[in-house]
Structure 1
């Protein structure tokens, strides 16, 4: 017998279901942003007042959390859904993310119209240019290089890789939610996972925008933790087990906007049609730099180096963990300090790159530690499900900065929605989600010693297939072309 997680809070069942106005409208047919009335059921009372109860609570307002809310509203249109985000809002933020065919299929599984809107905000690369640390051209290798065959990819697989700025992704997903679903300035301080069928998950939440810092008590039939690689939910519920490990590297990023392309640094003009990569020794390289366009006169540069380069430059390597910064999870310096540290490490790179670094506004520069989950140690449900809590995205599997982190987070959300669609808001749905995600995570990220890339990744990305959510109609773009054609 399935254990209903939503039924863990019996008082919520009797409340009038006035939570999402118009939620029975197909997401493909209705507007991307709808007004709604969100009514929280008073399930119990504590020292700080009434407990707010929601059928689904998502911790974290990044792309994974926002799409999780869209997904759950699609499969459970009368459910109450709340996203808790610690940050005060969504300022311009983030570099570019390459949304690949597995990410597009996951997005189409959730909402065809939303996927197409996001695609329209992207940018297509033409070719990738590789150089060594001296600036000498290199032949395409196992990591990157060569032309981007977009037409061939669309013809063979239905999708191609599209570069989209992280902030544009987040904004598009936010616009797809009813007003009031996302609660900003909501910092989760404590989490109790509850027990399926008996007790809901309970969260203590402080409101940064309230003068006295009042604490809200929130309960959830299902709690979806999408609060990043320093997930407070994971640390609270799993006691610190399974957190990502430092790879002893640093990452610097910046977004550069130029008003007149003719006045742009030489390197930006060179990178106008696709990425330029400078690769150091090793596999993966111990030091590398990338510059790529985002469209609309925007460019991104990313520099990655082992901590040993900072030590050689006389710079400290102590990490500042940003576990309580919501979507703003920095783990290193920012601004002028971050820029100067990056220049200290990459000052011997080709002059064109160094010129770009020097001309970058320091306020746009961020530094992060390089963390990753030990994929080989993952076993499934015990790592991602506990009580009424389920992990998605970086909270479940922190990835190297290889572009698949976001794509796999989108996959997580599509699969979680399908499991709830098939099995209801139950512990069985969460366990089914974990069982389905484990082999995908291994295929995309498990890399044998000495291998330049995970050997199963290309086939896993091409073969990604997801069940459409909601009543339809559906475009078929959530499946490989052959499977979509067979379903017609």
Structure 2
């Protein structure tokens, strides 16, 4: 097998966690480290946002890519052995989704549990790993106005008059992807899911009778199910002085982006909405966390239709730009898997087919053949989240509280199968 010494020139649109981890994956698996330039529209990488749960498969990949060591050395995140599920109106724990494995040490070999971490700190950890690779450049403040490709290259032109040319372009620019809308599949636009995430961070109250913190009913992460949505309450740092509060709830669609921006910025209205929706909670902590939450923001959740076009001859979509879906517990891990599997397919092409003059589209097709079925299943699963969040009657809530434990028990084996999977070494069929 011939290995070319000439490194590829790879362009990536999107300096979020998808683009950065894809760059790390390409660097790790390519036979010769490619020259990678990442273009981000914002003036600097966005280190704001809510808190995500990095499941065992996500942590395994971050470990392979060198980012988990950076996250751990910085002391980011709170280890999560399980997401506990509670009935809002009784405060009774009805179920849990565990990451502890049979011995409580995690899942897989080596074992990993999960990590609840803010999006900003996860991004900082990945940026720290990026900084150790001189072949990766990150350029911010670059707004794309056009994308063109021919038989030998792809060219991006920017609003500031500049341009960039590479062998391939990877779109990691999210649900409202410029790569998709300007080039790959312009007709495939984002669709509002009908639900929003209202989130903020609440400093813990001290008890009036002592200097101790108000106790929590959850160990690390708790999902509190009510008639009008789900409230996530979770620690996100080892000190446990702050609790992430995230409310998934049904919200009528607003006509345009400016309307959504105005709604998102109205913290007082969002707080009142959250309090009203979660009134009647058996645990007074619920109201306290909503009342004390700082930097409250309302974020509409958009999705893409199932299927769609992911690639042209030299441009590939990765992550939300290709298959954005409602949150279903492991979305971040799916994005990391995308980057690793695509990089492995591209690396195989570099080693076995590039010197023969075979178009790079063969690697793109191999990745799609490998990935489509998994994404379709995840998409179908995500639709159940939308149904769970929708407003319901008291009877509907009672039924839900009986169904959720059964559903989590029934699907445990399926979830754990993915949590132990290592896509850095699995058969890619190419």
Which portions of structure 1, spanning 4 or more consecutive aligned residues, are displaced by more than 6 angstroms? 259-265, 448-451
**1:234-264 per-position Cα deviation (integer Å, ceiling 9, x unaligned):** 1111443333432211211112345979778
Match of 1:292 in 2: 234
Q: Which moved more, 1:243-252 or 1:222-231?
A: 243-252
**TM norm structure 2:** 0.76
Match of 2:316 in 1: 390
Match of 1:441 in 2: 375
Give the gaps of 5 or more residues in structure 2: 355-359, 388-402
Match of 1:474 in 2: none
- How many angstroms apart in 2 are the aligned matches of 1:330 and 1:222? 34
Match of 2:250 in 1: 306
Provide the alpha-carbon RMSD of the alignment.
3.5
Pair 1:372-2:303 in alignment: yes
Match of 1:184 in 2: 140
- How many angstroms apart in 2 are the aligned matches of 1:137 and 1:405? 27
Match of 1:80 in 2: 35
1:354 pairs, out of 287, 297, 301, with: 287
Map 1:195-234; keep pairs closer than 5 Å.
Answer: 195=150, 198-206=151-159, 214-234=160-180
Match of 1:278 in 2: 224
Q: Secondary structure at the match of 1:241?
A: coil
| Deviation (angstroms), 1:155 | 6.3
Match of 1:432 in 2: 366
Pair 1:421-2:347 in alignment: yes
- How many angstroms apart in 1 are the aligned matches of 2:333 and 2:369? 18
Match of 2:118 in 1: 165
| Deviation (angstroms), 1:277 | 2.3
Match of 1:51 in 2: none
- How many angstroms apart in 2 are the aligned matches of 1:126 and 1:103? 14
Q: Secondary structure at the match of 1:385?
A: coil
Could you say if the C-alpha distance between residues 264 and 291 of structure 1 is closer, same or farther in structure 2, counting changes exceeding 3 Å? farther
Could you say if the C-alpha distance between residues 132 and 260 of structure 1 is closer, same or farther in structure 2, counting changes exceeding 3 Å? closer
Q: Secondary structure at the match of 2:198?
A: strand
Please tell me whether the aligned partners of residues 346 and 354 of structure 1 are also in contact (alpha carbons under 8 angstroms).
Answer: no
Match of 1:102 in 2: 57
Q: Secondary structure at the match of 2:376?
A: helix
**1:61-108 per-position Cα deviation (integer Å, ceiling 9, x unaligned):** 111100111122232545321010111123541222221222233334
Q: Secondary structure at the match of 1:104?
A: helix
Could you say if the C-alpha distance between residues 146 and 464 of structure 1 is closer, same or farther in structure 2, counting changes exceeding 3 Å? closer
**TM norm structure 1:** 0.68
Give the gaps of 5 or more residues in structure 1: 1-5, 7-12, 18-53, 207-213, 309-316, 323-328, 469-478, 484-488
- How many angstroms apart in 1 are the aligned matches of 2:102 and 2:70? 19
- How many angstroms apart in 2 are the aligned matches of 1:106 and 1:334? 35
